[in-house]
Structures are given as C-alpha cells and as structure tokens.
Homo-oligomer: A and B are copies of this chain.
C-alpha cells in the first residue's frame, strides 16, 4: 500500500465493484470476475503509464492495488443478493471511479509538468480506458462510444479543474469540485437521458 493515496484507493475500489457487476451480468466464474475487476480498475492507469513511458507499471511490484481489487470483488460478490438492479449499481460505482480517476490522471500530468490539454487527455484516458478494455473483453460495444455522455464528462471536469486553478482556487478544493462535477454530471446525464447529437440520424 506504499504509495497509494486515498483518491486512488477509492477510485480503484469503485471501478473494481463496477467491474464485478459487469462480469456478473455475463455470468463469468470467480477468477474471470477478478480479472475483469482488475482490468476495469487498473487498465486505464496502465495504458496511461505505457503511453507516457512510466514502466515497469507499479502494480507489478506493489500489491496494494491488487489487494483492493480482490477485497472489492469479494465485497461485490457477497452483497450481490442484496442488490436488485445490477445495472444501476454498476452505473453508480462507475461514476465514482470516473471522477476519482480523472483527478488522478490530471495529477499525473501536472507532476510531469504537462500542458493542461495533455493533463485533461491523461485524466480522460485514466478514467475511461479501463472500462473500454473491460467492455471489449466482454464483447460489449464500449460505453464510451455509445450515445451516452461519458468521456465528455471527464473533459468537462478537467476543464473546470484548470479554470478554477487559473482563478487562484487552491488545489484541494479544485480537486473536490472537479470530482463532484464529474460524478453528478454523469449521474444526471443518465437519469435525464442527456446525450450528444448523432447528427446522421436524419439520413
């Protein structure tokens, strides 16, 4: 658990539970469920680290993240009978993970002295691509490409992040506001069925 921070722990746990429920919908066995939870939680950060050359990837040496995935998967399996609607639970934990991991990705970019545009790209990759790899592995069309507001939420949150920072707001409140923006906007967009235009619908 050496270098994991609270924000990473919460994001990892949330995405692991989301992954566990996605795997349940496809009736995988317990090990397949763990792998899918692992991919969902750590896939985005792994892709980010590969793209920026931060290898060897941390989870190969530090077992904190893997342990959180394991415990979250077990929790997800134990509480499954209490849950009526897998899809809503998946949505809730996915939104939490989306918010926390966007902030983690932006922090990575800032710590490398990157331009805000690059930081937002890293945040979006960190938050979204675990789910993309999960969906591809389960033969689903990735959520990110569907007519739902998904990656757009991360970009919106990242933009809010750098506007507030530019205005002189201290880092901690900026991170919290960014996080809440993403979680709330994601949940509201699903509840009220907001979506981006698919302008060729008319054809």
Contact = CB atoms under 8 A, between A and B. Distances in A.
Contacts of A29: 146-147, 195-198
Interface residues on A, range: 35 or more
A114 interface: yes
Closest 10 CB pairs of A and B: A53-B55, A29-B196, A32-B145, A52-B56, A29-B198, A29-B147, A51-B57, A60-B118, A53-B56, A28-B145
A98 interface: no
A35 B141 contact: no
A55 B27 CA distance: 37
Contacts of A63: 117
Contact of A30 (B52, B55, B61, B197): B197
Nearest to A196: B29
Interface of A is mostly: helix
A23 B81 CA distance: 38
A114 B60 contact: yes
Interface string A45-80: 010001111011100110100000000000001001
A90 interface: no
Given A52-B56, A55-B52, A118-B61, A27 B200 contact: yes
